[in-house]
Amino acid sequence: MSRVAAAAAALLLGCSNGLGPAPEGKQFSIIDIGTSMPQDFLATPGTVSAGGVIINYNSFGSSSCNIPAGESVAMSAGMATITAYDRYVPPEAVCTADMGRYQRSVTLTLAPGTVELRLRGIRLLGGNEVGDLRRTVLVK
């Protein structure tokens, strides 16, 4: 996908998709654009220590429009789901046609055991798919 197409696709991301509504003033982040830019989330170590664990990840988009705006975290038995958000971009906005990579992080408190980490957002793999990236870690 060209940078222009990806930047344009980022503007089309609304609040109604498989992730449910985004919080007011936000939209879901682009978390996967294929292999053209690496995703730090996939490099999370396979074994981590219990307690506070910093999880690094990236979002992508136009440097003039897709501005990171935090994340939500949902914890359940054996799973932690991170949903990444950007500042809302109205459909009529004019954005630069570049594709930036934003470095982001969140601290999760993990207990010993096996935990599946999920990073949720938009995947630009031939379309605007709602999806997640997954990484299983052993917490010692």
Per-residue model confidence (pLDDT) at position 138: 98
What are the distances in angstroms from CA 62 to CA 7, 67, 87, 91?
6, 8, 12, 14
CA distance from start to end of the chain: 41
Q: What is the pLDDT of residues 91-140, one digit of tens each?
A: 899 999 898 899 999 999 999 999 999 999 999 887 788 899 999 999 99
Per-residue model confidence (pLDDT) at position 20: 65
Q: How many Cα neighbours within 13 Å face the side chain of 114?
A: 3
Per-residue model confidence (pLDDT) at position 2: 43
What is the separation of C-alpha 132 from the centre of its chain, rounded to a whole number of angstroms?
8
Say whether pLDDT at 77 is over 50.
yes
Please name the residues in contact with 15: beta carbons below 8 A apart, sequence gap of 6 or more.
21, 22, 27
Q: Which single residue is written with the structure tokens 């307690």?
A: 51
Say whether pLDDT at 6 is over 60.
no
Amino acid at 127: G
Which has the higher per-residue pLDDT, 10 or 80?
80
What is the DSSP code (8-state) at residue 41?
G
Cα radius of gyration (the chain): 15
Per-residue model confidence (pLDDT) at position 13: 42
User: In the structure, what pLDDT confidence band is assigned to residue 18 with cuts at 50, 70 and 90?
Assistant: low
Q: Can you give the residue ranges of every domain in the chain?
A: 3-139
Cα separation, 9 vs 26, whole angstroms: 16
Please name the residues in contact with 127: beta carbons below 8 A apart, sequence gap of 6 or more.
none
Q: What is the pLDDT of residues 33-67, one digit of tens each?
A: 887 778 899 899 999 999 999 999 999 999 999 99
Q: What number of helices (H) and strands (E) belong to the chain?
A: 1, 9
